[in-house]
A and B are shown apart, each in its own frame.
Chain A
Amino acid sequence: MSAFGEQRIARRFASLRQQGRSGLVTFITAGDPDLGTSMDILRRLPGAGADLIELGMPFSDPMADGPAIQASSQRALRAGQTLRRTLGMVAAFRQADGETPIVLMGYYNPIYAYGATAFAADAKKAGVDGLIVVDLPPEEADELFLPATAVGLDLIFLAAPTTDEVRLPRVLASARSFLYYVSITGVTGTRAAAAEEVEAAVALIRQHTTLPIAVGFGIRTPEQAATVAATADAAVVGSALIGEIARSLGSDGGPHPKLVDRVAELVSALARGVRSAPVRGPAE
């Protein structure tokens, strides 16, 4: 365990505010296309410019994900990825990096099969900072929320364009670390939301919370990342990185020798995009 064991997410967002810029959150699926390559990608992310890492826990039936992440989950599962291995990746990452926050993102059934309490404890021990469980709404989350909170793991909840002003406070009541705003009504990796829609949504959410807001779903290019970074506290990019992985696989499914470099280059380009957004004063 690192000396920087606690509150990595809050400290990272505080540091971003001090720098007057928005953050880049990168999503990859753990174990895609195989454990070793995925580990190499994970280790390269902070140096390439990822401020916060979302690590996908592959699931057979990822209902919030589009084709790119569905395929990546299938690749990871075929390569033998399990929840235990995913936690092992985080523990290995933490040996060299005690500072970059890691949020695990996935679906509830594998956690339920693992045992919610045991999972929360093991995730914390591995060095995980937060959990996003897409199919666990706040009203149904207690059996994970309570053991997670008890060990100091934050559950991060989602809001979407369909989350109205009645529901938003209920979501925020359980939200910790940051709020994940799903910018479109649809699955990951499809269309991008219009800049003004995101701006209006973020402004509305800010009326209800001082939590940082990360915006995801549909952000593919450095330009789109820059646009989102101008309003939100972080831009999340997933399917575009996964797409780069998919493009760098041979016909036998094996990784191209440059796969990790290519993903890292894309992360750097996205980070430059995020950092090119207008400088903002530190939040009050």
Chain B
Amino acid sequence: MLHTAFHLGLTVGRTATPEAVQFWILAPLAVIAALGILVVKKAVHSALLMAWVMVTLAIFYIAQDALFLGIVQIVVYTGAVMMLFLFILMLVGVDSSESFVENLKGQRIPAIIAALGLGGLIASLVGRATVAGPAVGLTAANADGNVQGLAKLLFTQYVWAFEVVSALLITAALGAMVLAHSQKVRSPFAQRDLSIARFRKSSLGDAAGLPASGVYARHNAVDVPALLPDGSPAPTSVSQTLRARGDIISSSSFALESIEEQED
């Protein structure tokens, strides 16, 4: 009896060949991409791999007669959620990468053991569960169309859960605004304040404004400090931000002596 059921499960559970081909191509790629999330250094690469996994999953949804979910997966996840991730990544620094030296003692090995062990256990449960019966398929359920079928369920049987979830969504949006809102500790400096500050300083050296950047004859750009009349560079002529990034070119290569040498 059990053997017959097992045999039936094997035969009925089998799907059409094109789906099998698609699965065996995409599934390994998804697993590789997922593993890539674990090992790449830069967060932005992780995000791109993640987007790939999500697109793969969307294809699987559509292949399994879940057309609506497939579309939502692409629109909401790869479209909205992943964009949000990338946006935040840009906020906190695209370049932020982490080293792979584990600084928590006894974290990595037990984590691998526990995760793989749990995965193995669930996999063995899946193996035991599916032999019990054949797959029914969604042809009948999707007779009126997948979206219509889902809508019927959502607005009848699950309407209460649907409303609750919508309330949750609104609350989350409000919560995010509250969390991300930052209190201003001081009023921004207006032009008037800045000019007053300039004239009240100990020296009036930059009362008329900071020197403009660039060596006009040779390299007229914002990343080169201006040269003072004595040939030395003026540090205040370039943006502090560029200086912090280390994107400043030294102005010494544009000094007069070298020009004379070139002319000679």
Do A and B truly interact?
A: no
Residues in chain A within 8 A of chain B (CB atoms): none
